[in-house]
Amino acid sequence: MNTIKEKLRKNLDEVIWNIEQARIEVSEHHIVKLVAVGKYSDEQNIATLYELGQRAFGENQVQQLEQRMHTLEELPLEWHMMGNLQSNKINKLIELHPTLFQSLDSLKLAKALNSRLAEKNQTMNVLLQINSANEASKSGVEVNEAVDIYQEIQECYPQINLKGVMSIGAYTNDTKLIQTSFEATHTIYETLQKKGATICSMGMSSDYELAIRCGSNLIRVGSKIFN
């Protein structure tokens, strides 16, 4: 157990150090939130990370989110949902009251989510997912429609509290292409700050440092912490 804890401590320290280096390049005032994604790990490791000071955790599936929130309910953790949300899982997600739902990827889903939230007289904090890499395999709204869709959700779906945007970097070894996709998201985020956006969620284990340099203020790191 101690060796696992030391490994997690080493991994977490390394990620925090890298965040710090990238953050300072942007500005000493630039704050970045780390969400640890436990997809390939277990509840014990999440509890250990809590002991090491990590507070925000994310899951890609509603079922796994429910299981972990239940198992770890004694710990004051912040939970994020960041995977594709199927319409038959909307009610369950609402019941779980996540801190943030990061992957609202269409107007159709916004309408369905708002309707179910209204039935339960609840609201939810949400990020609009943008497909800034313009890849068929990725979910999200198109770059050229993102600002209009964000404003439409704000105007038409009052149960949804839009907090900003999320995107996944281009799936390539070409750093320039990844950077371009992050810059596209950040440009949209800057426009939406006038509409109250405060979160620009970009960056995962393979590209979080680049994402921070491109303006991300929330990163989603799994394997670099848990493996």
68-84 average pLDDT score: 97
65-89 average pLDDT score: 97
CA distance 199 to 216: 8
pLDDT per position as a tens digit, 93-130: 999 999 999 999 999 999 999 999 999 999 999 999 99
Residue 38 backbone dihedrals phi, psi, to 5 degrees: -90, 20
68-90 average pLDDT score: 97
pLDDT per position as a tens digit, 172-216: 999 999 999 999 999 999 999 999 999 999 999 999 999 999 999
Give the pLDDT confidence score for residue 40 in this predicted structure. Answer: 82
Q: Extract the tokens encoding 14.
A: 């390394």
pLDDT per position as a tens digit, 18-73: 999 999 999 999 999 999 999 889 999 999 999 999 999 999 999 999 999 999 99
Give the pLDDT confidence score for residue 2 in this predicted structure. Answer: 79
Q: Extract the tokens encoding 127.
A: 């990020």
Cβ neighbours around 159 below 10 Å, total: 19
Q: Which domain holds residue 41?
A: 2-226
Report the CATH number at residue 203: 3.20.20.10
Give the pLDDT confidence score for residue 88 in this predicted structure. Answer: 96
43-51 and 2-26 helices cross at what angle (nearest 10)? 60
**Percent of the chain surpassing pLDDT 70:** 100
Q: Extract the tokens encoding 20.
A: 């710090």
Closest CA to 55 of 14, 1, 16: 16
3-class DSSP string for 128-142: EEECCCCCCCCCCEC
In the predicted model, is pLDDT for residue 1 greater than 80?
A: no
Cβ neighbours around 204 below 10 Å, total: 17
Band (pLDDT 50/70/90 cuts) for residue 142 is very high
150-155 average pLDDT score: 98
**Alpha-carbon dihedral 221, 222, 225, 227, rounded to 10 degrees:** -150
Band (pLDDT 50/70/90 cuts) for residue 77 is very high
Number of domains composing the chain: 1
